């Protein structure tokens, strides 16, 4: 085909008729009062009417007023005709009805033109059903994911590759005292005391460049957070990274461990106090399991026995008593064993035993075994005490 022929075809009057009739885009023309004057083949396929069935009738037959919606099609077509194409009906669908009675949301674009001196609205119509369904499915999935993150029991803070905060959930707000709006767009390091910011930034960047996908930040000591009111507090932080569409996102999962630290310190202090009393008592004292196994023994207790360091885990009656046995024969061990069994049944036992330290040195030891019970009355420990009453 020569260029000349091609120009002649494109210039022929038949070309434009064939074009609008043939394009796979539904096209309707209406007068300003809504009377349909043109209906192309794609429109016939989309809505099921033939041109003959609709030309001369009002467009309301194609986009009827919905019983549960006020939108009047012609009013909006007129309005959109005077708006730029990209703002027209971007979020707004008219609802079309096919000849078979099926309803479909349609995206319409419209312009007003004068043809041979007469005003016409030239309208394209697209079935928006699939797009709306996809949008709804996407929104649902998005809502589910963001609900989970938003109401998570951990503080969750996400940033982009430049460590600018892009997500700050409700728990994070509670922990730091900031509203999300105050933190979004700011640097993650805002949430740390000044002195840690530089190092932290570098560390996160290094993590971003590395191969590990997630890491517990307090593997290397605890992390200090900074609340809006300036208070510093201990944090437990795990950091993860994901790369979507080539863009790196960091997410920090945070727990305020102020309370836990406080509890730990309380426990340590209580342990210190217990040790102070236990280890500095003048009397020999220990703690036994109900079966007589030594769980703890204090310094005076270790002196009364051989002073060996490895006494824990042995039954009390098998401990090597200092220099000798309680009595020369096995009866002393058996007596102690029996007394422990008695205490394990819940009775307090007290008796005096002779401890012989070599020839003629007999020391009288006042032994007591006190059961310690739990809330249900079961014996969980026995406290043995020994005092030299010679």
Partner 1 sequence: MTKITYIENEGTEHVVDVPDGLSVMEGAVRYTVPGIDGDCGGACACATCHVYVENGWMEKLAPMNELERDMLDFAFDVKDNSRLACQIKVSPALEGLVVRTPARQY
Residues in contact with partner 1, counted by CB under 8 A, come to a total of: 24
Q: Does residue number 70 form part of the binding site for partner 1 (CB under 8 A)? A: yes
Task: Please state the closest distance from residue 70 (CB atom) to partner 1, in A.
Answer: 5
Task: Please state the closest distance from residue 68 (CB atom) to partner 1, in A.
Answer: 5
- The answer for 48, left when phi > 0, alpha when psi is -120 to 50, beta otherwise, is left
In this chain, which of 25, 93, 327, 347 binds partner 1, going by CB under 8 A?
93
Task: Please state the closest distance from residue 66 (CB atom) to partner 1, in A.
Answer: 8
Strand partners, 176: none
Q: Are 286 and 294 in contact (CB under 8 A)?
A: yes
Residue 297 burial (CB count, 10 A):
22
Q: Does residue number 122 form part of the binding site for partner 1 (CB under 8 A)? A: no
In this chain, which of 147, 280, 350, 373 binds partner 1, going by CB under 8 A?
147
Q: Does residue number 170 form part of the binding site for partner 1 (CB under 8 A)? A: yes
CA separation for the pair 321, 309 (Å, rounded): 13
CA separation for the pair 332, 298 (Å, rounded): 22
Task: Please state the closest distance from residue 92 (CB atom) to partner 1, in A.
Answer: 5
Q: Which is nearer to partner 1, 27 or 170 (CB)?
A: 170
Those residues with Cβ within 8 angstroms of residue 335's Cβ, 6 or more apart along the chain or in another chain: 326, 351, 353
**CA dihedral for 206, 208, 213, 216, sign (positive or negative):** positive
Residue 63 burial (CB count, 10 A):
26
Q: Which is nearer to partner 1, 180 or 353 (CB)?
A: 180
Nearest to residue 251, comparing CAs of 265, 241, 266, 236?
Answer: 241
Q: Does residue number 262 form part of the binding site for partner 1 (CB under 8 A)? A: no
In this chain, which of 4, 14, 24, 91 binds partner 1, going by CB under 8 A?
91
CA separation for the pair 194, 288 (Å, rounded): 52
In this chain, which of 9, 23, 151, 312 binds partner 1, going by CB under 8 A?
151
Q: Does residue number 375 form part of the binding site for partner 1 (CB under 8 A)? A: no
Q: Which of residues 98-117 bind partner 1 (CB under 8 A)?
A: 105
The stretch among 53-61, 112-120, 177-185, 329-337 that binds partner 1 (CB under 8 A) is 177-185
Q: Are 111 and 119 in contact (CB under 8 A)?
A: no
Q: Does residue number 137 form part of the binding site for partner 1 (CB under 8 A)? A: no
CA separation for the pair 212, 34 (Å, rounded): 64
Residue ranges that bind partner 1, judged by CB under 8 A: 66, 68-72, 76, 87, 90-93, 105, 132, 139, 143, 146-147, 150-151, 170, 179-181
């Amino acid at each position: 085909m020569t260029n000349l022929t091609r120009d002649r075809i494109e210039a022929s009057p038949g070309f434009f008729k064939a074009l609008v009739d043939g394009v796979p885009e539904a096209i309707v023309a209406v007068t300003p009062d809504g009377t349909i004057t043109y209906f192309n083949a794609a429109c016939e396929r989309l809505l099921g009417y033939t041109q003959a069935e609709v030309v001369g009738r009002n467009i309301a037959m194609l986009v009827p007023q919905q019983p549960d919606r006020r939108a009047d099609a012609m009013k909006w077509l007129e309005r959109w005709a005077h708006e730029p194409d990209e703002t027209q009906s971007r979020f707004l669908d008219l609802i079309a009805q096919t000849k078979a009675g099926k309803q479909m949301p349609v995206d319409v674009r419209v312009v007003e033109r004068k043809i041979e001196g007469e005003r016409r609205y030239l309208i394209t119509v697209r079935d928006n059903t699939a797009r709306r369904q996809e949008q709804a499915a996407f929104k649902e999935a998005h809502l589910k994911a963001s609900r989970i993150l938003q109401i998570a029991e951990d503080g969750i803070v996400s940033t982009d590759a430049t460590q600018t905060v892009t997500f700050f959930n409700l728990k994070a707000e509670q922990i730091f005292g900031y509203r999300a709006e105050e933190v979004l767009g700011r640097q993650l390091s805002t949430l740390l005391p000044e002195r840690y910011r530089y190092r932290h930034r570098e560390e996160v960047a290094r993590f971003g460049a590395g191969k590990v996908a997630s890491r517990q930040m307090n593997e290397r000591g605890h992390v200090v957070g900074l609340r809006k009111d300036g208070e510093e507090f201990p944090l437990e932080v795990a950091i993860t990274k994901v790369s979507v569409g080539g863009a790196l996102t960091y997410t920090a999962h945070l727990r305020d461990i102020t309370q836990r630290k406080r509890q730990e310190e309380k426990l340590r202090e209580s342990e210190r106090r217990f040790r102070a009393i236990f280890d500095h008592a003048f009397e020999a004292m220990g703690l036994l399991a109900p079966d007589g196994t030594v769980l703890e023994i204090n310094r005076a207790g270790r002196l009364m026995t051989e002073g060996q360091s490895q006494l824990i885990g042995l039954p009390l009656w098998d401990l090597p008593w200092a220099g000798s046995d309680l009595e020369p024969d096995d009866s002393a061990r058996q007596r102690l064993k029996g007394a422990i069994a008695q205490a394990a049944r819940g009775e307090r036992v007290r008796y005096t035993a002779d401890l012989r330290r070599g020839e003629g040195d007999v020391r009288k030891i006042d032994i007591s075994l006190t059961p310690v019970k739990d809330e249900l009355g079961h014996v969980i420990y026995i406290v043995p005490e020994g005092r030299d009453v010679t």
